[in-house]
Amino acid sequence: MSKRDYYEVLGVTREASAVEIKKSYRQLALKFHPDRNPDDADAEERFKEASEAYSVLSDSENRAKYDRFGHAAFENGGGFGDMSGFADEIFGDLFSAFFGGASGGGGPRQRSGRDLRYQMSITLEEASTGIERKIKIRKPHPCDTCTGTGARPGTKAERCKQCDGAGQTRVQQGFFAITRTCPVCRGEGTMIEDPCPSCGGSGHKEKESELLVKVPAGIDNGQRLKLRGEGEHISDGAPGDLYVEITVEEHKYFRRQETEIVSEIPVSYSQSVLGGETTVETLHGPVSMKIPAGTPSGKVFRLRGKGMIDMHTGRHGDHHVRTYVYVPSSIGDREKELLEELATVEGKPVHEESRSFFDRVKEFF
């Protein structure tokens, strides 16, 4: 299952303005926000999908890269991308506009680490048996120098003077009081006057981490594995998750249809007529298969239980083998002699029979 186009996700055209993109995202964020759909896993996925799309299209530079290169502009051979980050702020603003700031309780919004994404390619054989693979990713961790505060050691963040530490500002418009995220501290409630020299005040630095990913048997192309707590780590909030997106490479001989496997094998003319046995390669190793006498080209045989395992039921599908009669481009003298003898035994050459057929058609008319 391939990643959807970001414009399609947000329901806008490629010519949409920044205002239209933000408006569409606000509607989707309000509809699918996890706080409003606590027991709906699909809503959570739609929310994250919309957040990922908005995080790219809301930035003019990233949008230009996406318009030119598509999703490949942000994958970089198995890298990660920000899958959220704008949602809490926009959803909080929208919720506050309707309910006067009740969603945030009047304090700074709670922080959490971003979800990250990693691309992993595996073979069909690996998808059949399942594998364990170590991966290396670079992801943000709390800065060792400032322990994630973002402030120079020996100093600390000061309360934001704009919102007095609330993380939100209130604007009176007629009878309504609208609460918005503080534009100065961006909802943190604090400001860093003397930033940490190591991280520049961000509070985090990228480090390479090695993780063991367990890929279950039967996984299909486009499916994702969720590694809880392996996303971005921050000092004062919950870590994000890591999503490993699986790409199953195309096989040279096998074609997969969910849990069914299809392949083709050649048989000689003599095998097709007289019958015999042949060896068939499957995902579970070579299997001996009988070819009944008189097997026509295109005949399909079923090898039960030799297909792909179902991740949910644990049952194996079947392997379907289609035979075709192999015709060599050249033969030796002995083979030619035997075939000529066979043609004599069978009767008149085909072209003579064809001529007599057309003669009978002419007589009919």
Taking alpha carbons only, the member of 166, 204, 205 closest to residue 185 is: 166
Give residue 278's pLDDT. 86
Tell whether 40 and 170 lie within a shared domain.
Answer: yes
Return the percentage of the chain with pLDDT > 90, whole number: 13
CATH of the domain at 89: 1.10.287.110
**Calpha distance 54→51 (Å, rounded):** 5
Residue 312 pLDDT grade (very low, low, confident, very high; cuts 50, 70, 90): confident
Return the percentage of the chain with pLDDT > 70, whole number: 79
Please report, for residues 214, 260, 352, the alpha-carbon distance to residue 128 in angstroms, rounded to integers and kept in the order given: 13, 11, 53
Helix or strand run (H / E) with residue 287: strand 285-291
Tell whether 155 and 300 lie within a shared domain.
Answer: no
Most confident residue range from 91-100, 214-223, 319-328: 214-223
Tell me phi and psi for residue 209, to 5 degrees.
-120, 145
Tell me the pLDDT of the chain averaged across its residues.
78
Tell whether 193 and 127 lie within a shared domain.
Answer: yes
Taking alpha carbons only, the member of 295, 296, 314, 297 closest to residue 305 is: 314
- The position carrying tokens 């996303």 is 231
**Calpha distance 342→269 (Å, rounded):** 12
Q: Does 358 score more than 80 pLDDT?
A: no
Tell whether 277 and 338 lie within a shared domain.
Answer: yes
Tell me the mean pLDDT in the region 308-314: 87
Tell whether 292 and 328 lie within a shared domain.
Answer: yes
Give residue 109's pLDDT. 52
Tell whether 236 and 321 lie within a shared domain.
Answer: no
Q: Does 100 score more than 80 pLDDT?
A: no
Q: Is residue 178 part of a domain?
A: yes
CATH of the domain at 351: 2.60.260.20
**Calpha distance 51→266 (Å, rounded):** 51
Q: Is residue 1 part of a domain?
A: no
Residue 37 pLDDT grade (very low, low, confident, very high; cuts 50, 70, 90): confident
Taking alpha carbons only, the member of 248, 255, 273 closest to residue 342 is: 273
Q: Does 320 score more than 90 pLDDT?
A: yes
Number of structural domains the chain divides into: 2
Range of the domain at 298: 255-364
**For the segment 228-281, what is each residue's pLDDT rounded down to a tens digit?**
888 877 766 788 888 999 999 989 889 998 889 999 988 888 788 878 888 889
Q: Where a domain ends, among 215, 248, 281?
A: 248
Q: Does 49 score more than 70 pLDDT?
A: yes
Tell whether 50 and 90 lie within a shared domain.
Answer: yes
Tell whether 266 and 321 lie within a shared domain.
Answer: yes
Q: Does 131 score more than 60 pLDDT?
A: yes
Q: Where a domain ends, among 248, 281, 313?
A: 248
Tell whether 308 and 324 lie within a shared domain.
Answer: yes
